[in-house]
Structure 1
Amino acid sequence: MDGAARSRDQWADELVRVSAEYEGRPGDIARGRELARRFLARVRSAQGRPVPDRAVDLVQLVVSELLTNACKYAPGPSVVDLELAEDRVEVTVWDSDPVLPVAGAPDAGRIGRHGLEIVMAVCQSFEVHREPVGKRMRAAVTLADDMSGRAVGHAS
């Protein structure tokens, strides 16, 4: 009986959390976006939770931008964790580079390097913490839309 209870608990965890490791190889960013898409499809079907297409797009965008930074600037592996938490998805990316990212000042003439600005604009919250090895970036993407179609908690 104890084994059955653990099995159910493990299944419940798999429905609200997923993790994947990447090595900085070509295709990792696309694989990260696919991880997010499959995770939210599971949330929709297995839990019957409403997940607007907008939220699926935003979570994939956030995973893509944070994983791109990890692949571009951090030597070695990176880890993506996705977790369903109440009304939002927590996207966490760990990489081996201890240097904390800094969003650049707005500059319409700058080509590239807007990823962190994008993440901060579309997320409910964003934080970065230095770890004993590397850093951990966490962004929260809200799942609910208000009646006007705007994201609840969306940063302006």
Structure 2
Amino acid sequence: MDSAGRDEGQQPLVDHPISASAAFEGSEEIAHARDLARSFLTDVQAVHGFPVSARAMGMVQLVVSEMVTNARKYAPGPCLLTLELREGAVEVTVWDSSTTLPSILATDPGRVGQHGLEIVMAVCQSFAVHREPVGKRITVTIELADDPGGDPAGRQLS
């Protein structure tokens, strides 16, 4: 057993949810959302003992940036970002007040911009959209540790 009370190779034991959240209202706050993600993952690793790969650190910040940017761009009012540790992965959830569901545009090599959702879906293990009484909630999952022989997004390869 190590100092976190686990056998070698096991995840640390956690008796309460590890999460962080914040509301964002302006486009200038997108950098603050990335900072929250970086700080959250740094604490997950340093304080709680979970491994966080450099890839996961970068991917979570990228996903947070894209999701908060889209919420601020396409929905009136604030958006809410929540990060939560779940079974060796970070769950990133963004709520916004728009009822319009996200959609990926058709492939167009000449298109400049509007690739955020494509990027998010390419790097995440899972992607889900939930309608709420007011607005919607988009939740994605990103593995914290790298799988040396697997997909960069942490999906199972067949």
2:75/2:98 contact within 8 Å kept: yes
RMSD over aligned CA atoms reads: 1.7
1:67-100 CA distance string (max 9 Å, x none)? 0001101000100000000121000000011100
Q: 2:23 aligns with which of 17, 21, 28?
A: 21
Equivalent-residue separation in structure 2 for 1:34 and 1:149 (angstroms): 28
SS at match of 2:121: helix
The amino acid of 1:27's aligned partner reads: E
The structure where helix makes up a greater share of residues is 1
The amino acid of 1:115's aligned partner reads: G
The amino acid of 2:99's aligned partner reads: P
Query: Stretches of 4+ moved more than 6 A in 1?
Result: none
SS at match of 1:27: helix
Distance change >3 Å, CA 108–CA 154, structure 1 → 2: farther
The residue number in structure 1 matching 2:95 is 94
TM-score of the superposed pair, with normalisation by structure 2: 0.84
TM-score of the superposed pair, with normalisation by structure 1: 0.85
1:96-115 map, 5 Å:
96-115=97-116
Equivalent-residue separation in structure 2 for 1:69 and 1:29 (angstroms): 10
Q: How many residues align?
A: 142
SS at match of 1:93: strand
